[in-house]
Amino acid sequence: MRPVELVDVEGVRWVPDSPSGVAALVLAGSSGRVDSARAELLARHGVLAESIRWFGGAGQNEGPWEIALELFLERVDDLARSCDRVVVLGTSFGSEAALLTGVHSPHVSAVAAFAPSDVVWAGVRPDGSLASHWTLGGTPLPYVDLVDDWEPDTDPPPAFLGHYEASRDRFPEALSAAAIPVEHIDQVLLVAGGDDQVWPSQTMADAITARRDEQGLETMLVLEPDAGHRTVLPGEPLAAGGMRMRRGGTPAADSRLGAAAWSQLSALL
């Protein structure tokens, strides 16, 4: 197994010693970072796995606003040239990108969304203005606004769960317009913690499942009531980075969620 630095974008591709014919694109959340550890973990199991920086790098936006989905679609196209199946894994904001990539790419066989969102959310520019997280063909995708009068009710670091819940309550029409059409993805795995303090990932996972149920599609759903925003897969180090915030859960609960998720993820891979 060996790492290969990518050329066209900041990132790394882990090449397994015994390839299984499956590739994976791994996308981190609000840090936008290269999640090399998760990609390496997958490569140990025969997966050609890569992770890329999707904001904050050279030539990229400073934060998660108006990111071109073509960035992810092109990575999937490249992986598909050397593998039979491509799976996209995304966490938090990265789950939006993963699900949308699964919707718009014919090469994606499955999506694994950790702490998922059922909608496209607003990104906050440095000047405080809002914009869609994503664009496609240069056009921003419809998104759900964030209420501007919300204040955290916890001591620092803040828990943003209430902000997203208030925004969902105040903009119900936007929820429909910004919904990710997950019925266009063949296989979906959702992983959520019931103590997520960043956003209502279990509520949003239920919404994704319900939308797929309406079309007669099965969805793999893994829940752990005491886990938080981050999932720790077996053999994976504790994640670091991203915005300073309360994420909920405990190391033990987050690892239990990861162990339960791994059995389902293995099936996709």
Give the confidence band of 239 by pLDDT, cuts at 50, 70, 90: low
Give the confidence band of 153 by pLDDT, cuts at 50, 70, 90: confident
Number of domains the chain is built from: 1
Give the confidence band of 242 by pLDDT, cuts at 50, 70, 90: low
* Cα Dmax for the chain: 53
Q: Would you give the DSSP letter of residue 49?
A: E
Instruction: State the average pLDDT for the chain.
Output: 95
- Using a cut of 0.85, tell me whether the model's pTM lies above it: yes
Give the confidence band of 240 by pLDDT, cuts at 50, 70, 90: low
Give the confidence band of 157 by pLDDT, cuts at 50, 70, 90: confident
**For residue 148, what is the domain's CATH number?**
3.40.50.1820
- What residue has token string 């405990």? 250
What per-residue confidence (pLDDT) applies to 48? 98
Give the confidence band of 243 by pLDDT, cuts at 50, 70, 90: low
What per-residue confidence (pLDDT) applies to 151? 85
- Give percent helix, percent strand, percent coil of the chain, each to the nearest 5: 30, 25, 45
Beta-strand pair 85-91/139-140: unpaired
Whether omega before 157 lies within 30 degrees of 0, making that bond cis, reads yes
- Which burial class, exposed, middle or buried, applies to 184 when counting CB atoms under 10 A from its CB (0-12, 13-18, 19+)? middle
What average pLDDT does range 47-65 have in this prediction?
A: 95
Residues 177-230: tens digit of each pLDDT: 999 999 999 999 999 999 999 999 999 999 999 999 999 999 999 999 999 999
How far, rounded to the nearest angstrom, does the alpha carbon of residue 81 sit from its chain's CA centroid? 23
What per-residue confidence (pLDDT) applies to 209? 98
Residues 70-122: tens digit of each pLDDT: 999 999 999 999 999 999 999 999 999 999 999 999 999 999 999 999 999 99
What average pLDDT does range 230-253 have in this prediction?
A: 83
What is the domain extent for residue 161?
2-268
What per-residue confidence (pLDDT) applies to 196? 96
Beta-strand pair 122-124/130-132: antiparallel
Residues 30-44: tens digit of each pLDDT: 888 999 999 999 999
Residues 244-263: tens digit of each pLDDT: 778 899 999 999 999 999 99
How far, rounded to the nearest angstrom, does the alpha carbon of residue 151 sit from its chain's CA centroid? 26
Give the confidence band of 238 by pLDDT, cuts at 50, 70, 90: confident
Residues 114-132: tens digit of each pLDDT: 999 999 999 999 999 999 9
Q: Would you give the DSSP letter of residue 198?
A: S
